[in-house]
Homo-oligomer: A and B are copies of this chain.
């Protein structure tokens, strides 16, 4: 959900930047933002899920795909610190998915919409020859002053994550190994989103930069570093995970929140967060002065030489 994903048209992206911006801020965050006056902004995200790439019909139920399609988009809105209010849904369906598959998909989409109080504000349906494609737009509304951007990290900030990492990637591995019944596998198929948490963190000024973890922190952390012009040091023994450290930092689709927090407010924030959500904000590192060398990975204080990359889009 960023112009930067158009790697194959980088020269054109620069040309688009010369067009009028229509009031929209297009600087590589989870969402586009538009100031609507009165101190408020809309934030908008769009994501496309394709059969055979993002899900397999034999591995994920239609209900699960319906849940996940909504959740991954609401996660982008929450990652800006906003509360999602509505979505738009486009679906292209081959003839063998028009009836039962579509009904079950919509049941999942509806259940998660109801759970998070989001309207279905519009959409499009069409046929396709072979594969199912789902496109969701999620829209949130929030105070402009509270928008959390990837560009807001400051040297000295603590780096925190909202939950265990690598679970979704471990679940995908389970599925590919033939066991779709594990807890991780179920998490991978249904998706995850820290929606209440994101809106709550949006109101805390000590939270500086924020984004959701869709490609693994080895990749996503770099977005914050690039946009904020800072470096990052991550203590691998502090990264919360149920799986191995490499999967935890390079696995995609966790949809936990990654944020940087003013150091002297961090402990109070973590206490308040735990009191509110009965769930931990884990400190995994520090924002440091920018370096040439990417993320500094530390093992109990000692620098380790690894070449970890998150999931990368072509």
Interfacial chain B residues near A45, Cβ < 8 Å = 122
C-alpha spacing A12/B105, complex, angstroms? 11
Please determine whether A124 and B5 come into contact, CB atoms closer than 8 angstroms: yes
Which one of A133-141, A216-224, A298-306 is at the interface? A133-141
Which one of A35-43, A173-181, A199-207 is at the interface? A35-43
* Chain A 52-87 per-residue mask, 1 if CB under 8 angstroms from chain B, else 0: 111000000000000000000000000000000110
* Chain A 79-104 per-residue mask, 1 if CB under 8 angstroms from chain B, else 0: 00000011010111000001100110
C-alpha spacing A44/B164, complex, angstroms? 37
A47 at the interface (CB under 8 A from B): yes
A274 at the interface (CB under 8 A from B): no
Task: State the interface size on chain A (CB cutoff 8 A).
Answer: 73
> Which of B34, B44, B46 is in CB contact (< 8 Å) with A90?
B46
Please determine whether B122 and A20 come into contact, CB atoms closer than 8 angstroms: no
> Which of B22, B52, B124 is in CB contact (< 8 Å) with A47?
B124
Please determine whether B50 and A126 come into contact, CB atoms closer than 8 angstroms: yes
Within A1-50, which residues are at the interface with B (CB < 8 Å)? 1-3, 5-6, 8-9, 12, 15-16, 19-24, 26, 31-32, 34, 36-38, 40, 42, 44-50
